[in-house]
Structure 1
Amino acid sequence: MATSYRTPNRDEVMQAIERRLEGIRLERPRGALYVDFDEDHPRRRHFRRLIDPGIIRSNSTEVTLKALQTMKTLAENILRSPDEVKFHRIKPTNAKILELLINPPGVVEYIREMGFNPEVDEVEWQPYYVFHMKRLDDLKMGLAIINETIERESPKQEREERALEEAKAAEAKAKQKIMLKFQDDRLSVRARATRERRGGVADDIPRLPPKSKKSPAVVKTLADLRRDSKALDDGESSGEHEPA
């Protein structure tokens, strides 16, 4: 006898799928099929806001990067040598710390979020910012945000420095051009004054009348003189006299 097959309806198919999915969930550990919500995201966002606008908008790019580099060094020292107590304390009265971390707006707030708390040494009565190892996760997260900010802001500083150098070069070129024009003007004035002075002296000198042209001198020989004398004597002897 032939075997008959019944086509399952929609509800039966959906139930079979749900049973299969439930079996997979039980077989695999939690988290294998989906990723839990990133619990650190709000914390990272808080660190980013402490830097921008907190630090970046209140300081120049140069000051911002110096502060970030200093905090980066502090955090890396602790992570590299967690047992070195000297790396766990920041002395706020130190001149360099004052310049790089205390005076720039927003920086103190950031180092406190990384785990450095203000305390007073009971022996020295000296204020410090002291890091506690229980805040190690905050230190690591703060360092990660610092690194990404340095990577983003460093090209900006390079552009600003290049623009500043170009502006200085343009200013120096403009000053040189003005100086050369000033020197050319002085030389032109001096040359004109010299010409005018020489022209005035020439006008003051009395001018001599032009020399008249003289007839060329006639040179007579002794024979010429004798002929002239004989001619004169012949004239007198012939009676050529003017009437009285």
Structure 2
Amino acid sequence: MSCSSLYMPHDGDHDIRQAFRKIIHNVVSTHKRDDGIRYLKTVQRLASDAAKDPTRQFRRNNDRISEEVVRPSGVLEVLLEMGFRSVVKNNDEYFSHAGGTLNKNLRIGITMLQETLECEGPKQSADEHRHEQEKAEKKAAVETLLKKIKDDRISVRARVQRERQSGQYEKGIPPRSGTVKPGKIATLQGSDANPCTS
């Protein structure tokens, strides 16, 4: 067998993987990171359950499936690309895997979801760490400001107490409203002179 007969421009699953990368990326980029990751984890769980038991069916109006798969933009598309189809049973709608040739899509889809979650997980952790750090810095700034206000109030209280005891006002600090600043008495005979003696 010649080497040329072994050469393939890409493997046969390349196009399927590319299709999954596109729609999975759409989920991550369309929604907030935390929400997108949560939606993909839900799809991954449904797909893994179907891979273990092909007869499994998931009710469409289940609260979690409705909120994390059906309603968010682009998420249901991932599930359908993996081979899930909608079926009606007893007037209720379910998702079940079609099986057959779509088993390959299911297998590849689970792999691509795992690849994305492993890639996005550290980013999510870094974002959470940065968010927590920002919260801690803001809290520390508020506590510093409150301490400064408290210290200023204590300082003012101490200054007022000194003024009351000494009758002297500290330089550069105006007297409190309602207080009378002591001063010299001026008369026609001169400052502080007794008008009855001349």
TM bin, normalised by shorter chain, reads 0.7 to 0.9
Q: What amino acid is the match of 2:47?
A: A
Counterpart in the other structure of 1:44: 17
**2:7 matches 1:34:** yes
Say whether residues 1:93 and 2:61 are aligned partners. yes
Q: Is the 8 A contact 1:63 1:104 kept in 2?
A: no
Q: Residue 94 of structure 2 is aligned with which of 111, 119, 128?
A: 128
What does residue 223 of structure 1 align with? Answer: none
Query: Structure 2: how far apart are the matches of 1:129 and 1:79?
Result: 14
Q: Give unpaired runs (5+ residues) of structure 1.
A: 1-23, 205-244
Q: Size of the alignment, in residue pairs?
A: 169
Q: How does 1:9-158 map to 2 (within 5 A)?
A: 31=5, 33-35=6-8, 37-52=10-25, 54-82=26-54, 85=55, 87=56, 89-121=57-89, 123=90, 125-134=91-100, 135-158=102-125
Corresponding residue SS for 2:60: coil
- Structure 1 Cα separation of the partners of residues 36 and 104 of structure 2: 23
| In 1: Cα distance, 2:59 partner to 2:152 partner | 61
* TM-score after normalising by structure 2: 0.76
Runs of 4+ in 1 over 4 A off after TM superposition: none
Query: Relative to total residues, which structure has the larger strand share, 1 or 2?
Result: 2
CA RMSD of aligned residues (A): 2.4
Residue 118 of structure 1 deviates from its aligned partner by 2.4
Computing the radius of gyration from Cα coordinates, the structure with the larger value is 1
CA deviation after TM superposition for structure 1 residue 36, in Å? 6.4
SS in 1 for 2:106: helix
